Amino acid sequence: MDRKPSLIDRLKAKDAFLVGTWAKIPSLETVELIGHAGFDFAVVDMEHAPHSFQSAYQAIATAQAVGLYAMARLPDRSGGAVQRLLDAGIDGLLVPRVETPEIAADVTAAMAFPPLGSRGMGYTSRAARWGLDSAADYLERGRNHVMRGVQIEDMGALEQIDGILAAPALNAVFIGFGDLALSSGLPGSHPTLRGLEAKVLAAARAKGVPCGTAVQTPEEAVRCREAGYSFVMISADTTLFAHAARRLMDDTRNALGR
Which positions are annotated as active-site residues?
48
| CA trace torsion 189, 20, 102, 106 (10° rounding) | 170
Instruction: Identify any residues that bridge with 174 across adjacent strands, giving them in sequence order.
Output: 151, 212
Indicate the Cα dihedral angle 64, 25, 152, 200, nearest 10°: 60
**Beta strands in the chain, from DSSP E residues, in sequence order:** 18-23, 41-45, 69-73, 92-95, 147-152, 172-175, 211-215, 231-236
Q: How far lies 33's CA from each of 66, 206, 235, in Å?
A: 9, 36, 14
